[in-house]
Structure 1
Amino acid sequence: MQIARIKELKNLYREVLLNDIVPFWTKHSVDWVNGGYYSYLDRDGTILNTDKSVWILGRQCWLYSRLYNTVEKRSEWLDIAKNGYDFLNKYCFDSDGRMFFQVTQDGKPLRKRRYFYSETFAVMAYVEYARATGNDESLEKARNVYKSIIRMYETPGILTPKIIPETRKLRSHANTMSLLATSLVINEADENSCYEKVIDSCVNDIFRYFVKKDRKALLEVVGENGEIIDNPDGRCINPGHSIESSWFLMHVGMRKNDRSIINQALEVLDWSFERGWDKEFGGLLSFVDLDNKPPEKVEWDMKYWWPHTETLYAMLLANYITGDARYEALYKKVHEWTFKHFPDPEYGEWFGYLHRDGSVSLPIKGSVWKGPFHIPRQLLYG
């Protein structure tokens, strides 16, 4: 990619980040009365639901800490980060040490799920907030929550499985991918051989169990030994997850100067994009079937915001690593589709949920899932 184009993109991303995405969430989501953040926002930022997503609490605390650490030392950003940090600590942990998935606006518990993803985003928040403040207590919290994640990941029975394991034992790519991402984040701030061991284990497991080179696919769910389960869940490919996983793997390969990891990650990126890109309407499909059978998920052909931002960063990173113009061309294709369909020119921020043809399905800007994370992360990293 030519230097002039790189500068142009950096300026664009900074403009979108600082004059669109961040101001929208700063204005509409911060709860200065109860603490934390609202994420259920209508198109214009109106609050649709005062319940709070613990995923978003961790992600948004991470974002404002990251902005303070890497963009500008704005006291407002650090205050907003602290608002989420304090709320997480006070309200979002159950008595068993696990975290809730959803709480009321004043912190009363509502939902607790069978996953550890609230914990992964809390670790990210604690690590970045520790960097911003020099707060050793925050880093220690990150270590403790990380240890809890490891226990849940490694110990059968702590989390209620989705499928009864006595009947069918399964492995989840989402769990391994999330643990890898979290380990990379905490290892940056707290170098320890224990994190490297987990990183190596996650990388090995992704390639050993979930990547199917003969089928040119990364599967979301496989049998205990990596066998393909011939049902809709077992054949399910989530292009966004696979592509996100590919850039995590590229980061590992770059850190270790391991060309084998990088090359395998690039294969995952190539396969996932080829399978996921909608050749009729453009954009990335949410789910596809390994054997091109009808997907079970009714939202399979919707275009979500986050797979597109993950793909933008993955293609830029692949182009940076390889110098291959093919990745620049693919990046351009995704960039043009993304910036044509997702940004809202009237109220700002981006739509998150589009129909297959790119028309808006839901005008909302936030939900229990969508908050200020995937878009600003891509704008910061890209």
Structure 2
Amino acid sequence: MDLERRQALIDVYRDGLLRDTIPFWCNHGIDYKDGGFFTSLNRDGTIIDTDKGVWQQARATWLFAELYNNVEPRDEWLQLAIRGAAFLDQHCYDSTDGRMWFHVTQDGQPIRKRRYAYSECFAAIAYGELALATGEAHYRERANQAFNRFVDHNLNSVEASSKFTATRPSRGMGFPMMTIATAQELRQSIGLVDADHWIDRSVATIREFHLKPDIECVMETVGVDGQLLDHFDGRTLNPGHAIEGAWFIMWEGHLRGDTNLIETGCQMLDWMWNRGWDEKHGGILYFVDVRGLPVQEYWHDMKFWWPQNETILATLLAHLLTGEDKYAQWHRQAHDWAYSHFPDHKHGEWFGYLHRDGSLSSELKGNLWKGPFHLPRMQYMAWRWLEKDLF
């Protein structure tokens, strides 16, 4: 990756973030009446559903606070983050148990709560960035509370019944992976005192149970002792998810100067690139079977936006940390394929859902799952890595 290529990528990521992605959401996604953010948007930004996903309220709040803290202290961004946090405070907690909702109405009436506690981890990083931006103890306390609720629910949950019986106990990679990312954010924003403990514990869990050197694979779901569950759920791999976890671990290795962590992240990327990259059409597939068998989920071969975002980040970081040419080539493949298929050059932002061949499946720009997070985080982190931290 020569200097010309590096500068071209900086321009793409920086300008895409500041001149396209952020303006799209600021122009179309702000609820000035009830607070928070609309994310169920059509191609041109028109609102097609006023319900609000709590994940997206927290993620958008984090994004605007992150931009305020690390790009430019624009009051507009700070005020949007403050409004987002106010919506979380006022409407997104169940007063009966302290858990956060997953899905609420425009004015914050609760609709649904999930058994898992990922709303809490996204709220934690949002409050953390606002604590850094404002210096207010309220946000610091909220960040700590949300993080503690997230880990406690996953490790010691007694109030929420599982949708599974005890017949086939399993463990998933989502919790340790998201613990790494959340603790990294809170260490930076509020100086989370036990961040390293949670990161070390989570990396050890992934290494022990989910990494399978004998078959060169990162397993999404395994038995409680790490064994392969030879059923649809156990055999299903999520390459984009594993690749996202790979760059979390690589980044931790960079921050600590720990080559073993960098090697673990690169190993995860290597294995899941080989399993997830679509050699026929390009792009990262959504699901694949560990044995190459048919996958149960009908969207298995679609191209969603976020696995491409995470692969762009992981391949870029791997190249910057190791200097290996193969990662530069993989990054070029992932970047070029995504940027030739996902961006909407007429209305801005990216489409979220393509067919396997790259043709458009849906004109949605957002919903309860897609909002201002994976794409702008990718643009911001890639710009930052190329121009600042890792130059």
Q: Same fold (TM over 0.5)?
A: yes
Q: For residues 106-143 of structure 1, what are the alpha-carbon distances to aligned partners after superposition, in whole Å with 9 as ceiling and x for unaligned? A: 01101100111100110110111111212221011101
Letter matched to residue 147 of structure 2:
Y
What SS class does the counterpart of residue 286 from structure 1 fall into? Answer: coil
Match of 2:21 in 1: 21
Does 2:264 match 1:261? no
Match of 1:109 in 2: 110
Matches of 1:100 and 1:176, distance apart in 2: 21
Match of 2:333 in 1: 333
Aligned 8 A contact 1:54 1:101 in 2:
yes
1:207 CA displacement:
0.6
Q: For residues 189-243 of structure 1, what are the alpha-carbon distances to aligned partners after superposition, in whole Å with 9 as ceiling and x for unaligned? A: 2335422111111000001001111111111111111011000110111011000
Matches of 1:370 and 1:58, distance apart in 2: 12
Say how many residue pairs are matched.
381
1:156 CA displacement:
4.4
Match of 2:129 in 1: 128
Aligned 8 A contact 1:172 1:222 in 2:
yes
Aligned 8 A contact 1:39 1:367 in 2:
yes
Aligned 8 A contact 2:341 2:358 in 1:
yes
Letter matched to residue 283 of structure 1:
G
Matches of 2:56 and 2:199, distance apart in 1: 25
Matches of 1:206 and 1:321, distance apart in 2: 21
Aligned 8 A contact 2:132 2:190 in 1:
no
Matches of 2:348 and 2:189, distance apart in 1: 34
Q: For residues 334-369 of structure 1, what are the alpha-carbon distances to aligned partners after superposition, in whole Å with 9 as ceiling and x for unaligned? A: 111000000011111110000001000000100000
What SS class does the counterpart of residue 233 from structure 1 fall into? Answer: helix
Letter matched to residue 329 of structure 1:
Q
Matches of 2:159 and 2:3, distance apart in 1: 51
1:149 CA displacement:
1.2
Aligned 8 A contact 1:67 1:77 in 2:
yes
Match of 2:66 in 1: 66
Does 2:326 match 1:314? no
Matches of 2:320 and 2:28, distance apart in 1: 36
Task: Flag structure 1 segments of 5+ consecutive residues without an equivalent.
Answer: none
Match of 1:219 in 2: 219
Match of 2:252 in 1: 252
Match of 2:389 in 1: none
Aligned residues: percent identity? 44
Q: For residues 73-103 of structure 1, what are the alpha-carbon distances to aligned partners after superposition, in whole Å with 9 as ceiling and x for unaligned? A: 1111111111111100100000211000011
Distance 1:192 1:112, change over 3 A: closer
Match of 1:356 in 2: 356
What SS class does the counterpart of residue 292 from structure 1 fall into? Answer: coil
Matches of 1:134 and 1:288, distance apart in 2: 45
Task: Flag structure 2 segments of 5+ consecutive residues without an equivalent.
Answer: 383-391
Aligned 8 A contact 2:57 2:88 in 1:
yes
TM-score using structure 2 length:
0.95
Distance 1:205 1:187, change over 3 A: same
After the TM superposition, which residues 167-246 of structure 1 pair with which residues of structure 2 at under 5 Å, given as runs? 167-246=167-246
Match of 1:376 in 2: 376
Matches of 2:157 and 2:60, distance apart in 1: 31
Letter matched to residue 322 of structure 1:
T
Query: Relative to structure 2, which stretch is displaced further, 237-246 or 144-153?
Result: 144-153
Aligned 8 A contact 2:187 2:195 in 1:
yes
1:160 CA displacement:
2.7
Letter matched to residue 243 of structure 2:
I
What SS class does the counterpart of residue 265 from structure 1 fall into? Answer: helix
Match of 2:163 in 1: 162
1:163 CA displacement:
1.8
TM-score using structure 1 length:
0.98
Aligned 8 A contact 1:209 1:226 in 2:
yes
Matches of 1:212 and 1:161, distance apart in 2: 27
Does 2:82 match 1:78? no
Aligned 8 A contact 2:131 2:140 in 1:
yes
Match of 2:99 in 1: 98
Aligned 8 A contact 1:32 1:83 in 2:
no
Letter matched to residue 63 of structure 2:
L
